[in-house]
Amino acid sequence: MAEDHPKQAATGAEDAAMDTEAGAGEGRSAAAVAGLLRGFLAVQQRRAEAYSTLRRGFSEYMANGGELAYQQLCGNITAEFNDCSKQVLEMISVLSMPEFYRSDLVDLLKGVQAHEKEKLHLTAKIQVLKKAGRPSERLVNHADCRSRSLTQHVCVHVKEITEAAGTEDAEADAEYEAALKEAIQGVQEAVTSINEHMEEVRYEIDALEAETVGSRLMEVEEAFPSTLSIK
């Protein structure tokens, strides 16, 4: 039986070494995932800055005009959002790898992507509606009007003011206001959902970094057991 003790000791040492290596590996994995999630936060910051740029550009367009500049701005913003989405999809791919496999984080990032897509769609809808304006206040195009002479203009848009016409304008305005309100509310809901997801990401980063610190401390204790032992 005494001969079994060296074997048991050796086996115990091997198990301890494997546990240490596993712990170190988990620590490195946690650090990598935490770094990836911090990269995700940076992407979200880029998105926030892009929205700020878009809002400023749209406000300037509504105040001063400049269709070409506005369209160029929209093109630049679209390219920025596409690049952000591409980076997030790459992160999702990494988190799906066997060495990391965090399905919970994959679902979390996919959720943010879905809400960001909806937010962008509704933001564009809001701007289209505001560009068009209320139906009753829109400028008319006189291209289809007739001219008897250079000084006489026969406008096809002139109509008798009746109760029916007033009701029609009111209904059109009501539909416009409802569509605008719905889009604005949709953006607000998307923002709320995104912020909730972001809080989960930050919480996960804190947990992963705490795990990394614990793993590194374990490595130090294994390397210098007598130095850190409390007497």
Tokens standing for residue 46? 């880029």
Residue 146: which region, alpha, beta or left (left: phi > 0; alpha: psi -120 to 50)?
beta
pLDDT digits (tens, 9 = 90+) for 168-202: 778 889 999 999 999 999 999 999 999 999 999 99
pLDDT at residue 129, rounded to an integer? 95
Mean pLDDT of the chain: 80
Tokens coding 123: 């933001």
pLDDT digits (tens, 9 = 90+) for 12-38: 334 433 343 444 445 578 889 999 999
pLDDT value at residue 23: 42
Percent of the chain surpassing pLDDT 70: 68
Give the residue extent of every domain in the chain: 15-228
Q: So what's the pLDDT on residue 215? A: 52
Give per-residue pLDDT as tens, 36-86.
Answer: 999 999 999 999 999 999 999 999 999 999 999 999 999 999 999 999 999
- For residue 149, the model assigns a pLDDT of 54
- Of the two residues 169 and 144, the one the predictor is more confident about is 169
The two three-digit tokens of residue 183, written as one number = 């889009």
Contacts of 93 (CB under 8 A, 6+ apart): none
